A and B are shown apart, each in its own frame.
Chain A
Amino acid sequence: MITREEVLHVARLARLELAEEEIEPMARELSAILDNVARIKQLDLEDVRPTSHVVEMTGSLREDVVVPCLPREVALSQAPAVGEGGFLVPSPQA
């Protein structure tokens, strides 16, 4: 069972604020889902190689040459706040 403290810890890691009324249902639902997926732990897979990606490929990096990219004003056009040619954000320390 996932505890209230675990939910709050994971939410902090995920940079996600949860309202008080979201915490208990989240603990209950995560517990139910994790109980269910935990069945795979019964499989003996010790010698099995993990698959992170189905496409086996290497060396797909492009040549390191400068190519045109989005103009600054276009890149900034969807931002909630801009200033001095950059993204404007609140101070890290209040």
Chain B
Amino acid sequence: MSAELLELTASQAVAEIDAGAVSPLELFDFYRERAGADRDAGAQGLGCFTWVAADAPETPAGVPLGGVPLAVKDLFCTENVPSQSGSRILEGYLPPYTATVVSRLQHAGASLLAKTNQDEFAMGSSTENSAYGPTLNPWDRTRVPGGSSGGSAAAVAAGLAPWALGTDTGGSIRQPAALCGVVGLKPTYGTVSRYGMIAFASSLDQAGPITRDVADAALLLSHMVARDPCDATSLQTPAKLELPCAEGLEGVTLGVPGELTGEGIEAGVLDSFNAALQRAEELGAAVREVHLPHAPHALSAYYVLAPAEASSNLARYDGVRYGLRAEGAEDLLDMYTRTRHDGFGPEVKRRIMLGTYALSSGYYDAYYGHAQRVRTKIAEDFAAVFEQVDLIATPTAPTVAFGLGEKTGDPLAMYLNDYCTVPMSLAGIPAISIPCGLSQGLPVGLQLAGPAFSETRLLDAAHALERALAFDGAPARV
């Protein structure tokens, strides 16, 4: 039975539970053992998890998600379960409440299986910035899984969790999904509550599913979206999300922006991307070139805006209310500065410094104000393109998974990972990454993006394309 359980997608597992063929407890124990073995293996494992559940929660009969276990990125607050956002400064932190999106999913019958490793405060593209050690890519353990939701993506790819939650600020769901050969969706900004998500950049942060296939992403998302009185930026979505069923792409026009499909994208990635576009045409899609003239400036704007918001959000880590406090401080200010010195890792310090600089007197307009104007132009570029096409297609990441340590010494090289994903984040629009093939034996991700609230159409198109591409994720399962 074990091998068969591993073969099931989460949606299939829900169906098996509904049919009485599999018990929720049996499935939970199966995954708890797999996740626990990875955790117990320490540096010999993949390093996907920071915490694994000891016991299965009770699953009431008839809940829509059937008790299927769910892995959750470390930065979601989970009551009395360590929630450390990959940071030393929150080591051992046990939140007094659970994030709205997690409690919604639990209410729908998702069982909390584990918390997953991530870059510290979601700042990074390789999960090497975690204070709790790196996560390895299950396709090749000498390579990174991407980040910042690398633990979630690697866990789903390796079959250590049926599905997982991640968060995306500039690509942190989509890029690790691409590098691990799984599906990752960043929903429209505001559709999923951020309450209880440990904040990085609040105008960009958004929770989303990381799953084996598109149907699972749609099912999980359908239980995540809701207006939440605890998050003033959360929205009532205009239409109910439909689960995807499309098999063709007739009548769908895909726009391919020249700015995100040329220079800087690895040849093998482009080959795989172009082959996928050809499959889309065979399925009936019209493919045409479009232009996002400001997209090449998105990364620059993002690396002003996100650090600026982070420098403000991370001011709360001061050693007063929770987390680490440096010992032996001379006075209050000394306690603040030493706590933050001891508790934050190098990338987080860099971004706090960058953001504080960009917001400081004399530089605000030149950096922050200007970046906000670029953000407007990027959103206008997308609006203009969506007058001409239904969805935009790009590679998700410029390269396949790169070697551990390869980019840790060069922040700018690391930031380039977000080149194709940041524009959508700045515009607040939904985007999904699906695996579209292999290059050098490693997964390549294809990104589809649509206008705000177009998730149903986006998932339908991704579903049709996924079927035609027939990517095989089995080699990564351990």
Q: Which residues of A are at the interface with B, using a C-beta cutoff of 8 A?
A: 2, 6-7, 10-11, 13-19, 22, 26, 29-30, 32-34, 36-41, 43, 45, 48-55, 57, 60-62, 70, 74-75, 77-81, 87, 89-94
CB of B367 within 8 A of CB of A37, answer yes
Q: Which of B19-27, B63-71, B216-224, B298-306 lies on the face that meets chain A?
A: B298-306
* Chain B residue nearest in CB terms to A19: B341
The interface residues of chain B lying within 8 Å CB-to-CB of A17 are 337-338, 340-341
Which chain B residues numbered 198 to 232 have a C-beta less than 8 Å away from chain A? 203, 229, 232
Which chain B residues numbered 396 to 440 have a C-beta less than 8 Å away from chain A? 411-412, 415, 426-428
* Chain A residue nearest in CB terms to B319: A80
CB of A78 within 8 A of CB of B323, answer yes
Cα distance, A38 to B367, chains bound together (Å): 8
| Sample of 19 more A-B contacts, CB < 8 Å, known A16-B353, A54-B203, A78-B93 | A14-B352, A16-B344, A32-B412, A36-B303, A40-B300, A40-B374, A43-B294, A43-B297, A43-B374, A45-B374, A45-B377, A51-B375, A54-B428, A54-B452, A55-B189, A79-B321, A80-B319, A80-B323, A92-B331
The interface residues of chain B lying within 8 Å CB-to-CB of A37 are 300-301, 303-304, 367, 371
Q: For the complex formed, measure the closest distance between the CB of A1 and the CB atoms of chain B, giving whole angstroms.
A: 13
The interface residues of chain B lying within 8 Å CB-to-CB of A77 are 94, 96
CB < 8 Å: which of A10, A14, A51 contacts B379?
A51
Range of interface residues on chain B? Answer: 35 or more
Q: Decide yes or no: A10 and B360 within 8 Å by CB, A32-B412, A37-B303, A78-B93 being known contacts.
A: yes
Q: Mark B122-158, 1 if CB is under 8 A from A, else 0.
A: 0000000000000000000000000000000000000
CB of B96 within 8 A of CB of A14, answer no
CB < 8 Å: which of B301, B319, B360, B374 contacts A13?
B360
CB < 8 Å: which of B190, B353, B366 contacts A14?
B353
Q: Decide yes or no: A15 and B337 within 8 Å by CB, A39-B297, A50-B372, A52-B203 being known contacts.
A: yes
